[in-house]
Structure 1
Amino acid sequence: MSKTFYIETFGCQMNAHDSEKVIGTLEHEGYSRVQDEADAGLILYNTCSIRDKAEQKVFHRLNEYKKLQGEGKKFAVIGCVAQQEGEKIFDKAPYVSLVSGSASYRNLPQMLARLEAGEQRITGLDDRQTDETFETPFVARTNPHRGYITIIEGCDKFCAYCVVPYTRGKERSRTANSVLDEAIRMADAGFTEIQLLGQNVNSYHDPSAKMTFAELLAAVGSIPGIRRVRFTTSHPRDFTKDIVDAIDAVPTLCDHVHLPVQSGSTNVLRAMAREYTRDWYLERISWIKAAKRNISITSDIIVGFPGETEEDLEQTATLLEEVGYDAIFAFKYSPRPNTPAINMADSIPEEVKVKRLQILLDRQRETQRLNYERHLGEVMELMVEGHNRQRNQVIGRSTQNKTVNFTTTQPILPATGSYVSVRITQTFPNSLLGEALAS
């Protein structure tokens, strides 16, 4: 087998960062990355099972490239669909040689050695109860300015609709020293923004009992050279006031909190096994709104969960207006394998789910329009993310995680990763327009 590889990543930011660590591990084991499947000896698919029909998309992709098997190429399915489907993948796609869930990534070097030795069916599927995390110094970070650190893996929440506890295993946290050591190495390498990751990032519990999550946030934000620290995704059950206090106290902590509510109805939240009420959630929102800094709030919403009534939907809509989210990510419910909700009667027709989703999006759009209008005339510091040459604009992101397209009178456009002060001149429901201030 040629020691070249191609990897395709599906799904969330955690999957993308997992791929950075997998790529780094492969390269440390002597593999070279290529950009085309046809040039690779090993083809990996890092999969996500959150979205509807996720496994179908993976098998479709595998089927597209099975003709390459005759050229001696090897295939690996890793990630959530690998854990979910397990050895059934070998039955559906016999040309696959390696199937591994994310909890087994730390064993990747040994699995690669077995693959190179000619083994045909290698699995890493039995580690969901492990206490170990996937820590490696070999991370192929794709962005030289913004980097990610996974501080907690797995999930213990078992929400009725969610497959993550069954695919990523139980919650297990890295030590605070391990996280800080990696953050310091990143700062020394020139990174100025760090994002801490976890399925429930604020459920972090330091195995060495040295730091709370809020204390870890503050410590990362105090590292010389780090200008921005973000974290995602938080769970309301573990969202504590000291997190807001840390954001107020440490200027490098970004003034943005992503706090998924999923529904504004306590009845639906109970059916979802979220284990909090609407009032519990709104209490946490009140902490954020009482902060000295103006903290942007975003959320996730599921519509059409089994048993959701029109009254439940209206409660979600009124919650959106009461909180005044800067953005939401809203989805129609779809049953996922192995979850408790799969046994619930999915009684809401698809066309009703589509209608309900649009109702929420329309009402949220007006809230966002008003929220973004408040930034008119404001001066923001932006991190440059790219350039739109056709429009002669620069693309930047604020500490509140808002996208700003801006112009500059300078003959040379600011470099990606640099920081620029910009005055906001025009607002839209999802973005802002501005002009760079003379430096």
Structure 2
Amino acid sequence: MSKTFYIETFGCQMNAHDSEKVVGTLEHEGYVQVEDEADAGLVLYNTCSIRDKAEQKVFHRLNEYKRLQGEGKKFGVLGCVAQQEGERIFEKAPYVSLVAGSASYRNLPEMLRRLEAGETRITGLDDRQTDQAFETEFIARTNPNRGYITIIEGCDKFCAYCVVPYTRGKERSRTSASVMVEARRMADMGYTDIQLLGQNVNSWRDPSGRMSFAELLTAVGSIAGIRRVRFTTSHPRDFTRDIVEAIDATPTLCDHIHLPVQSGSTAVLHAMAREYTREWYLERMSWIHGAKRDISITSDMIVGFPGETDADFEQTITLIDAVKYDAVFAFKFSPRPNTPAVHMADSIPDAVKSERLRILMDRQREIQREHYGRHLGQVVEAMVEGYNEARGQVVGRSTQNKTINFTASGERPPQGSYVDVRITQTLPNSLVGEALMNAVPFVPVRRAADFVVLN
């Protein structure tokens, strides 16, 4: 087998960062990444099973390239679908040689050696009881401006609709010392924007007992050279007031909180096994609304969960009216394998789910149009992420995680730099502005040899 590899990633930011660690591990083992399946000796698919029909997408992609098996190529399925389907993948796609869930990535070097020795059915399918997180210094970071650090893996919440506890195992936190070492290393490499990741990032518990989650945020935000610290995704059950206090007290902590509610109805939340009430959630919203800083709030919602009545759905609408989210990511309920919701009678017609989703998003769009208006005339710091050549605009992002499209006279600021922008127009999903004439972009110092940029 040629020691070249191709990897394709499906799904969330956690999966994307897992792939960064997998790529770094492979490169450390002497493999070279290529940009096309046809050029690779090893073809890997890092999969997600959160969304409906995720498995079908993976098997469809495998089927597209099975013809390459005759050229001596090996195939591997990683991630959530691998853990969920297990050895059944070998039956459905016998040309696959490696099936590994995310909890087994720490064993990748050993699995690669077995693959090179000619084994054809290698599995890394740890049960959810493993206590070991995947920590590695060999990370090929795809984003040269924003760096990601996983601080907790797995999930112990067992929401009725969610497959994550079954595919990623139980919660496994890294020590605060380990996280701080990685954060300092990234700052030394020139990263100024760091995002802490976890299925439930605020469920992190320091195995050494030294820090709370809020204290970890403050500590990372205090590292020299770091300008922005984000964290996602939080769970309402573990959202504490000191998180808001830390954001208020630490300017480098971004003024944005993503706190999925899923439903505004306590009855539906109970059916979902979310283990909090509407009132519990709204109390946490009151902490955020009462902060000294203007903290942006975003959320996830599911419509059409089994048993959701018209009255339950109306409770969701009244909740978004009360909270005034800056963005909502909403989806129609679809049952996922191995979850309790699979056995619930999905009594709500798809047409009703679609109509509820339309109503929710139409109302949220109205709220965003009004709520974004508060930024008109403000001066907002934007980190440059790219350029819209067709419009002649620079594309940036605010600390509130909002897209800012702006014009800049003279030489355009480089990616990764920070520019003060006066907002001249507000749209439901973005801000428009002009770079201040006297603003000198802050450009972070970066040693190119210290990171790998992937396509």
**Structure 2 length as normaliser, TM-score?**
0.96
Which residue of structure 2 lines up, in the alignment, with residue 41 of structure 1? 41
Deviations 1:194-213 (A, max 9, x none): 00000000000000000000
- 4+ long deviations beyond 4 Å: none
Deviations 1:77-116 (A, max 9, x none): 0000000000000000000000000000000000000000
* 1:274 Cα deviation after fit: 0.1
Which residue of structure 1 lines up, in the alignment, with residue 449 of structure 2? none
Whole-angstrom distance in 2 between the partners of 1:137 and 1:368: 40
* 1:25 Cα deviation after fit: 0.2
State how 1:66-145 maps to structure 2 within 5 Å.
66-145=66-145
* 1:283 Cα deviation after fit: 0.3
Whole-angstrom distance in 1 between the partners of 2:147 and 2:166: 27
* 1:55 Cα deviation after fit: 0.2
Deviations 1:177-224 (A, max 9, x none): 000000000000000000000000000000000000000000000000
1:147 and 2:147 aligned: yes
Whole-angstrom distance in 2 between the partners of 1:391 and 1:159: 44
1:402 and 2:402 aligned: yes
1:289 and 2:250 aligned: no
1:334 is aligned with what amino acid? S
What is the SS of the residue equivalent to 2:178? helix
What is the SS of the residue equivalent to 1:355? helix
1:30 and 2:30 aligned: yes
1:420 and 2:419 aligned: yes
> Pairwise CA RMSD of aligned residues?
0.5
Which residue of structure 1 lines up, in the alignment, with residue 335 of structure 2? 335
1:53 and 2:53 aligned: yes
1:73 is aligned with what amino acid? K
* 1:250 Cα deviation after fit: 0.4
Number of aligned positions between the proteins:
438
Whole-angstrom distance in 2 between the partners of 1:126 and 1:174: 18
Whole-angstrom distance in 2 between the partners of 1:380 and 1:404: 9
Deviations 1:23-80 (A, max 9, x none): 0000000000000000000000000000000000000000000000000000000000
* 1:129 Cα deviation after fit: 1.1
State how 1:260-279 maps to structure 2 within 5 Å.
260-279=260-279
1:422 is aligned with what amino acid? V
CA contact (8 A) 1:104 1:127 kept: no
Whole-angstrom distance in 2 between the partners of 1:317 and 1:145: 37
2:214 is aligned with what amino acid? A
What is the SS of the residue equivalent to 2:375? coil
Q: Which moved more, 1:388-397 or 1:121-130?
A: 121-130
CA contact (8 A) 1:372 1:429 kept: yes
* 1:4 Cα deviation after fit: 0.2
2:7 is aligned with what amino acid? I
Whole-angstrom distance in 2 between the partners of 1:290 and 1:227: 24
Which residue of structure 1 lines up, in the alignment, with residue 434 of structure 2? 435
Deviations 1:279-331 (A, max 9, x none): 00000000001100000000000000000011111000010010000000000
Whole-angstrom distance in 2 between the partners of 1:332 and 1:143: 31
Which residue of structure 1 lines up, in the alignment, with residue 206 of structure 2? 206
CA contact (8 A) 1:48 1:80 kept: yes
CA contact (8 A) 1:256 1:295 kept: yes
Whole-angstrom distance in 2 between the partners of 1:371 and 1:414: 28
| Paired-residue identity, % | 80
1:169 and 2:162 aligned: no
1:434 is aligned with what amino acid? G
Whole-angstrom distance in 2 between the partners of 1:350 and 1:62: 30
Deviations 1:219-242 (A, max 9, x none): 000000000000000000000000
2:80 is aligned with what amino acid? C
* 1:409 Cα deviation after fit: 1.1
* 1:389 Cα deviation after fit: 1.0
1:433 is aligned with what amino acid? V
Q: Which runs of 5+ in 2 are unaligned?
A: 440-455
Whole-angstrom distance in 1 between the partners of 2:146 and 2:72: 37
Which residue of structure 1 lines up, in the alignment, with residue 374 of structure 2? 374
Whole-angstrom distance in 2 between the partners of 1:409 and 1:147: 29
CA contact (8 A) 1:206 1:212 kept: yes
Which residue of structure 1 lines up, in the alignment, with residue 446 of structure 2? none
Whole-angstrom distance in 1 between the partners of 2:78 and 2:404: 36
What is the SS of the residue equivalent to 2:151? strand
Which residue of structure 2 lines up, in the alignment, with residue 186 of structure 1? 186
Report which structure shows greater RCO (CA 8 Å, sep ≥6). Answer: 2
Deviations 1:325-347 (A, max 9, x none): 00000000000000001000001
Which residue of structure 2 lines up, in the alignment, with residue 344 of structure 1? 344
* 1:127 Cα deviation after fit: 4.0
* 1:126 Cα deviation after fit: 2.2
* 1:145 Cα deviation after fit: 1.5
State how 1:202-241 maps to structure 2 within 5 Å.
202-241=202-241
Which residue of structure 1 lines up, in the alignment, with residue 355 of structure 2? 355
Whole-angstrom distance in 2 between the partners of 1:145 and 1:263: 35
What is the SS of the residue equivalent to 1:374? helix
Whole-angstrom distance in 2 between the partners of 1:395 and 1:379: 16
2:60 is aligned with what amino acid? H
2:217 is aligned with what amino acid? L
1:402 is aligned with what amino acid? K
* 1:128 Cα deviation after fit: 2.3
1:64 is aligned with what amino acid? E
Which residue of structure 2 lines up, in the alignment, with residue 159 of structure 1? 159
Q: Which runs of 5+ in 1 are unaligned?
A: none
Deviations 1:347-379 (A, max 9, x none): 111111111100000000000001111110000
What is the SS of the residue equivalent to 2:210? coil
